[in-house]
Structure 1
Amino acid sequence: MAEEGSDDDKSSNEELQDSVEMEITDVPEQLPTAVYEENGSATVAADPVVYPRPPATEEQPTDLERLWKAVHDRPQDFTSWTDLLQYCEQENNVATSRKALEAFLARYPLCYGYWKKFADLERRAGNGSKAEEVCIQGLQAIPLSVDLWIHYINLLLGTLDMNLPDSPMRIRNVFEEAIAATGLDFLSDRLWDLYIEWEKEQGNMRQARAILDRVLQVPTQLYNTHYDKFKTHLNSYEPKEVLSQEEYEELRLLCCQSQETEKDEPAIEETKDSPPGEEQSTTPERADAEELKLKIREMVLTRRDKVYHDNEGEVRKRWQFEEAIKRPYFHVKPLDRLQLCSWHSYLDWEIAQLGNHSTEKGGHSTREEGYEESAQPPEASGSSPVPKDDSRVRILFERCLIACALYEEFWTRYVRYLEPKSVDETRRVFQRACKVYLTNQPNIHMLWATFEERHGDITEARHILEDLEKKLPGLAVLRLRRAALERRAGQLEKSEALLLEAVAESKEKPTLHAFYSIKLSRLLLKLNRNTEGARKILTEALEISPDNDKLHMNLLELELSGDPWASAEAVQDCVKRALAASLTPHSKILLSQRGLQYAEDYSTTIESVVSVYEGHQKLLKDVCGTKRGAEDGDEDPAKLSKTHEGSAVAATMSHVPMATPPPSMAGTDMAQSGYSGYGNWYQPQYSSYGYQNTWNYNQSYYPPSQ
């Protein structure tokens, strides 16, 4: 099972159980709330989920009030929860224990040991039906828990009247549900063993043998003990009582034919030598019953030997991966990097095996088909645990998501694996991840919204982003995603309204305000064709952030995109405003250079071009501290780079590379870092426009001095 595990020994299921119970109580003082880095992406620890504190009463002990207050104030502190649960258990207060367990399991549903405690609490209180409900609820949260399935079955065995005709069938159905959910798990041996022993107690020897046949084909940790039990079971009863009727008749006929062939020739010779007049029977003697039983058992084991050895090979392939997993159950303690890599490697291998199996099946040479031809019992056909699909891959993903439930990377990998196969299953995985385990981690929620939008459910995608923004207010990437969603849905007014709201709400944060203003101005300019509105947004933003170079650059870009006959003065005014601000030398040179390029391309008089050129040269002189700037072509940029910090800026302009792909935005918290993380993606990089040392000609507008 996925929750069982021991760091030191996996060979004993009892030791595995003891280890898990010990690990549940071995917790850190507080669940870290920092940001973890996994696979290069930020994983934000879940914010506290506030649980209502029970009102204080005169009868309520002071210690209980204190413990409830601790989990109310710090619900992410696992130790506070265990202290509360331990206290409630010691006080034997059913109502308080029930409330505490319900609150705890709502936050940590993968702690199967506490589901068992909850069910036992209800059973001891005489609420048998409530105990069953608790088990069922726990199995819905963690269906891969072998321990919880066994606990549920034992609960039914202790409460059902087995003399009723429906009770055995109900138990058998629950066993089959458990096998379907966890039977392919590498650590599912105890469930198989319990099922087999129960069928024996019911006197169903054939059914017990059929279950043994099924588990012989499943790679599990104790695969060899299952074969030993099969041999013992076969030798302990008559073959006719154990084997299916079809297989028994088939093997009996084969044994009889073999014996007749062996005895046929000696019988004929004996007839020739007999005295005249004595009648000899021509029918060969039948083997006695014991010899027939022995032959049948040998043939049965011959068939199962191949199944066993093939399964042993599958176990060997997986053994190294299973040994590398030290904590296959859920815990709030972070896993080390080696453990995370082990899970990724195991998943890689299992998925590759699925691809190899498909290739082999196309060539009609799969091992599983060989199993069925030689050993599959007739009554078990159609219910073999040997996967013909990706069941084993999915089981491994589910195991992984128990141990790594707090790691976004594995949920993301699972949904990407499932989406081509089933949209509904993928949606259910998204719901589990976002509503239970990763409630406050933005990347997985945005991926879910993208999934819903891609599959046509715009309303659900909208709700996902809205709900997330309520939990994480101020995260700029969410507001941008919402605006982009409305734009793609044809709701330009809603998109504009969202950005307007963001601009209004961020006035106290100049950097963030500038970022939203730039986004809004582009929407107005590019999509609504509202140049005046876009200019107004940028101008108002410059009043708040007059030294923001990106605002100046975007305003200049807006003016450059206008009518050349009407924009010449506006362009130069924009440049003058930027040069008067406290911008970096690099930004000033870029803006002045753009203004000069515009004058060269669209000015109607040479005087205006020369005037702008002289202003640009003066700027270079002031910045670089030389008579001629690097763009005249008469100075070596490498020399200029040694004289002044500003000259380095000018020199690099002749070597500016073209734009490169923007970095990933995953994990960027815009509420904290403004829009610095989005610079390469959202803001114009003027060096990418190809203005690389534009004016580095052999001669300037003036001839060289004589």
Structure 2
Amino acid sequence: MAAEGCEEMSGNGELEEPSVMDAPEVPPPPPPEMSEENGSEAVAPEAPVGPDPASFSVPSAVGDEEGELPADFERLWKAAHDNPQDFTSWTDLLQYCEQESHITASRRALEAFLIRYPLCYGYWKKFADLERRSGYNDRAEEVCIQGLQVIPLSVDLWIHYINLLLGTLDMNLPESPKRIRSVFEDAVVAAGLDFHSDRLWDLYVEWEKEQGNMKNAAAVLDRVLRVPTQLYNTHYDKFKEHLNNHPPKEVLSSEEYEELRAYCRQSQKAERAEQAQEEEEERPPGEEEPATPEGTDSEELMQKIREQVLLRRDKVYQDNEGEVRKRWHFEDAIKRPYFHVKPLDRVQLRAWHSYLDWEIAELNRDTKDPTQDPNQAATEESEVTTQPQEASEEAVVTHSDYRVRILFERCLIACALYEEFWTRYIQYLEPQSVDEARAVYKRACEVHLTYKPNIHMQWATFEERHGNSTEARRVLVALEKSMPGLAIVRLRRVALERRAGQLDISEALLREAVDESKEKPTLHAFYSIKLARLLQKVGRNPSEARRVLQEALEISPDNDKLHLNLLELEVSGDPWVSAEAVQECVTRALAAPLASHTKILLSQRGLQFAEDYSNSIKSVLSVYDAHQKLLNELGGTKRGAENGDEDAEKLSKSDDGSAVAVSGEAPPTMPHVPITTPPPPMVGTDMSAQAGYGAYSSWYQQPQYSSYGYQNTWNYNQGYYPPS
């Protein structure tokens, strides 16, 4: 059952407990030789998308015991809150509170724990039992209701809630049975399609029998005959036993009973036609056929009615067995259908993906019929849930959208910590309902994946794509507050504001990032380059962009990326006014503590600028002589390097063969380490070729600075300059 554990229960808060009723042994898989016709199933009128975490709150404690908390409570409480992702710290706290039997401490611990790990159904049960033992039955009920809002597919929690009501309600009051029946209905609608929901159906049937409602018990059995569950065959056996132990009139609905009674009477008359004719010939004149007393039926007629009932149900049973057979190997491959913080292995993850693939494929196959009205199909499914129909005349959509959603919800209990399944569910829902997809994003990001930034950023993109920039902005701001220092999140906020036309806010965000990162030179340079590019390309303010880069160089004079971006900014300006600024930029770089190959590259760039735009040959030769002098000083005196025969890749390599690219730290992986994206390339480069939004693979990604378009060094004629 979804959210149910068997033996390994530490992740859900309890060891294996005796079942509410003894379940039959698990039957073997259905035989392979059976009909391929679709069976029937009970479905709910509305498909589930899970609870809204905005409404999630544990009932407030009323009447808590006063007094000091246990001695080690504060220490364990602090350990759990300092590292909320450490599940062991939480279980240590909960076990300590349980050992101390301190209700106030236990309440505080359980409330805090269930907000972070709401899928641990065993702890909801512990919480409810704690309140009940303390005499707070109303609070125990509130806890169960709250838990079922979070995990409505938990069969075990539904049974626990029903048993709580059975033990606390006064069943002599007329409203109590109505309330119990209403809860049973809510339970089978929410969790009745689960493959392991047999115990819930059995409990419902037995309770109706205890109330003396044999028709209701038969109706519940009639419904579960259409649901593919693990113990599908035992339900049919129970239906036959129930039918044989009671008169059909006390078991069947009035409509079905009268119909079958009339049919069987007609059949009896046809069978006895010849016999009746012979008896009439031998009967004394004037004597009439004995009449059956009004309002009574013979045992023979009752047996014929039973045979017709089973004949109809046998078709339902065979169809349902076919559905179980289709699902059996998928269900058998799922070893941990309940939530646990321990990772699932790849085999288990593939099993869930395969099951989802199959169920969606079955839905697509069944909905290819263009004559089927989806609204009509939903109405028919609703009728099957609320009122059993005659099996031989039903046409129920087995592979429904509702069943696909139920499987997704089951999957998201066992795989709640895996983004891929949340993303897949959202992709399934979005074409049908943007609001439902948004609700799933909300559950994923605000409850289960609070420290997974990727899905939060996907949510922001989703909201912006659907025209809700305000919500996208809120999502990114909340993410940055919970995980401060992530550079990619700040860049997403900057890009969002820029696309929204809020250039002043976009600039302010980058300036704030620059100011806050002055104690971290590498990150400061990264944000400074981003700000300079925004000012130059979007704000059309190269002078301010120049100032930003120059201030960054005062903090990080050895950062080659800052020098290269500043130089590119200067050469991209008006060539008639940029010559002096370009040479000043080169001079600054040559005086900085940069690597030799970087200085040569910058000097070459300055020489090319002079060659391309200088209107005086003397200035060109002056720059050339300075470049030659630099080559001699740094050991790069090869003739090929002077005249362009040397490959650019060789020039951009250091003595040990490493490329001129990485300076500063490598991108960290921990969520609270601030740098997660590399600094951008130079101001003049185009990032449109980058793969993916924010997919920076390494710092700067320009080891040869090839994006400038200078694949080779100078290719001037050999005699253009005199040899030095």
| 1:236 and 2:236 correspond | no
CA–CA separation in structure 1 for the residues paired with 2:292 and 2:103:
74
The alpha carbon displacement at 1:188 in A equals 1.0
Q: Which amino acid aligns with 1:557?
A: E
The alpha carbon displacement at 1:615 in A equals 5.6
CA–CA separation in structure 1 for the residues paired with 2:264 and 2:624:
107
2:561 to 550, 562, 570: 550
The alpha carbon displacement at 1:172 in A equals 1.3
The alpha carbon displacement at 1:441 in A equals 2.5
Query: In the alignment, what sits opposite 1:190?
Result: 199
Query: In the alignment, what sits opposite 2:388?
Result: 380
1:317-332 alignment runs, 5 A limit: 317-332=326-341
Q: Residues 283, 262 of structure 1: CA spacing in aligned structure 2 closer, same or farther, 3 A cutoff?
A: farther
1:679-698 alignment runs, 5 A limit: 683=700, 685=702, 686-693=705-712, 695-696=714-715
CA–CA separation in structure 2 for the residues paired with 1:96 and 1:353:
50
The alpha carbon displacement at 1:193 in A equals 0.9
Please give the secondary structure, in 1, of the residue aligned with 2:209.
Answer: helix
Query: In the alignment, what sits opposite 1:702?
Result: 720
Please give the secondary structure, in 1, of the residue aligned with 2:367.
Answer: helix
CA–CA separation in structure 1 for the residues paired with 2:120 and 2:395:
31
Q: Residues 298, 475 of structure 1: CA spacing in aligned structure 2 closer, same or farther, 3 A cutoff?
A: same
CA–CA separation in structure 2 for the residues paired with 1:209 and 1:432:
38
Q: Which amino acid aligns with 2:5?
A: G
Alignment check: 8 A CA contact 1:5 1:19 kept:
no
Q: Residues 595, 311 of structure 1: CA spacing in aligned structure 2 closer, same or farther, 3 A cutoff?
A: farther
Q: Deviation per CA, 1:29-87, whole angstroms, max 9, x where unpaired?
A: xxxxxxxxxxxxxxxxxxxxxxxxxxx99865535555555545555444444444344
The alpha carbon displacement at 1:393 in A equals 2.1
Query: In the alignment, what sits opposite 2:166?
Result: 157
1:536 to 539, 547, 553: 547
Q: Which amino acid aligns with 1:226?
A: H
Between 614-623 and 212-221, the greater mean CA deviation after superposition: 614-623
CA–CA separation in structure 2 for the residues paired with 1:425 and 1:395:
14
Query: In the alignment, what sits opposite 2:576?
Result: 565
CA–CA separation in structure 2 for the residues paired with 1:538 and 1:17:
67
Query: In the alignment, what sits opposite 1:302?
Result: 311
Query: Which structure: greater helix fraction?
Result: 1
| 1:411 and 2:411 correspond | no
| 1:433 and 2:433 correspond | no
CA–CA separation in structure 2 for the residues paired with 1:63 and 1:540:
52
Q: Residues 164, 267 of structure 1: CA spacing in aligned structure 2 closer, same or farther, 3 A cutoff?
A: same
Q: Which amino acid aligns with 2:707?
A: S
CA–CA separation in structure 1 for the residues paired with 2:593 and 2:163:
77
CA–CA separation in structure 1 for the residues paired with 2:676 and 2:288:
104
Q: Which amino acid aligns with 2:640?
A: G
CA–CA separation in structure 2 for the residues paired with 1:379 and 1:19:
29
The alpha carbon displacement at 1:488 in A equals 2.1
Between 539-548 and 608-617, the greater mean CA deviation after superposition: 608-617
CA–CA separation in structure 1 for the residues paired with 2:564 and 2:302:
93
Please give the secondary structure, in 2, of the residue aligned with 1:326.
Answer: coil
Q: Deviation per CA, 1:577-633, whole angstroms, max 9, x where unpaired?
A: 334444445544554454454445433345555555566666667778453226856
Q: Residues 648, 243 of structure 1: CA spacing in aligned structure 2 closer, same or farther, 3 A cutoff?
A: same
1:348-497 alignment runs, 5 A limit: 348-359=357-368, 361-362=369-370, 379-380=387-388, 389-497=400-508
1:160-179 alignment runs, 5 A limit: 160-179=169-188
Please give the secondary structure, in 2, of the residue aligned with 1:62.
Answer: coil
Q: Deviation per CA, 1:137-156, whole angstroms, max 9, x where unpaired?
A: 11122222111111111111
Q: Residues 385, 545 of structure 1: CA spacing in aligned structure 2 closer, same or farther, 3 A cutoff?
A: farther
Q: Residues 630, 331 of structure 1: CA spacing in aligned structure 2 closer, same or farther, 3 A cutoff?
A: same
Alignment check: 8 A CA contact 1:521 1:533 kept:
yes
Please give the secondary structure, in 2, of the residue aligned with 1:629.
Answer: helix
Please give the secondary structure, in 2, of the residue aligned with 1:126.
Answer: coil
1:676 to 657, 675, 678: 678
Alignment check: 8 A CA contact 1:115 1:134 kept:
yes
Question: Using CA pairs below 8 Å that are at least 6 residues apart, which structure has the higher relative contact order?
Answer: 2
1:256 to 265, 275, 291: 265
Alignment check: 8 A CA contact 2:7 2:15 kept:
no
| 1:136 and 2:155 correspond | no
Query: In the alignment, what sits opposite 1:346?
Result: 355
Alignment check: 8 A CA contact 1:217 1:307 kept:
yes
CA–CA separation in structure 2 for the residues paired with 1:555 and 1:593:
15
CA–CA separation in structure 2 for the residues paired with 1:430 and 1:229:
43
Q: Percent identity?
A: 67
1:314 to 320, 323, 338: 323
1:33-44 alignment runs, 5 A limit: none
Query: In the alignment, what sits opposite 2:54?
Result: none
Alignment check: 8 A CA contact 2:76 2:92 kept:
yes
Q: Deviation per CA, 1:476-502, whole angstroms, max 9, x where unpaired?
A: 112212222222222211111111111
| 1:201 and 2:220 correspond | no
The alpha carbon displacement at 1:281 in A equals 8.1
Q: Residues 386, 205 of structure 1: CA spacing in aligned structure 2 closer, same or farther, 3 A cutoff?
A: farther
CA–CA separation in structure 2 for the residues paired with 1:684 and 1:105:
44
Query: In the alignment, what sits opposite 2:226?
Result: 217
The alpha carbon displacement at 1:461 in A equals 2.6
Between 621-630 and 686-695, the greater mean CA deviation after superposition: 621-630
CA–CA separation in structure 2 for the residues paired with 1:647 and 1:614:
28
Aligned length: 645
Q: Deviation per CA, 1:397-440, whole angstroms, max 9, x where unpaired?
A: 22222222233333233233322222222232222222222223
CA–CA separation in structure 1 for the residues paired with 2:577 and 2:652:
40
Superposition TM-score, scaled by structure 2 size: 0.77
Query: In the alignment, what sits opposite 1:33?
Result: none
Superposition TM-score, scaled by structure 1 size: 0.79
Q: Residues 228, 16 of structure 1: CA spacing in aligned structure 2 closer, same or farther, 3 A cutoff?
A: farther
Q: Residues 613, 152 of structure 1: CA spacing in aligned structure 2 closer, same or farther, 3 A cutoff?
A: same
The alpha carbon displacement at 1:192 in A equals 0.9
Q: Deviation per CA, 1:463-487, whole angstroms, max 9, x where unpaired?
A: 3222322222222112212222222
1:270-309 alignment runs, 5 A limit: 270=278, 289-309=298-318
1:501-520 alignment runs, 5 A limit: 501-520=512-531
Please give the secondary structure, in 2, of the residue aligned with 1:185.
Answer: coil
Q: Deviation per CA, 1:76-113, whole angstroms, max 9, x where unpaired?
A: 44444444434443444333332332233233222212
CA–CA separation in structure 1 for the residues paired with 2:179 and 2:397:
25
CA–CA separation in structure 1 for the residues paired with 2:254 and 2:353:
46
The CA RMSD measured in Å over matched residues stands at: 4.3
The alpha carbon displacement at 1:130 in A equals 1.4
Alignment check: 8 A CA contact 1:217 1:386 kept:
no
Q: Which amino acid aligns with 2:720?
A: Y
Q: Which amino acid aligns with 2:169?
A: L
Q: Residues 179, 510 of structure 1: CA spacing in aligned structure 2 closer, same or farther, 3 A cutoff?
A: same
Q: Which amino acid aligns with 2:6?
A: S
| 1:93 and 2:102 correspond | yes
Q: Which amino acid aligns with 1:116?
A: K
The alpha carbon displacement at 1:521 in A equals 0.8
The alpha carbon displacement at 1:277 in A equals 10
Query: In the alignment, what sits opposite 1:51?
Result: none
The alpha carbon displacement at 1:511 in A equals 0.8
Alignment check: 8 A CA contact 1:267 1:284 kept:
no
Alignment check: 8 A CA contact 2:526 2:680 kept:
no
Gaps of 5+ in 2: 21-64, 661-666, 682-689
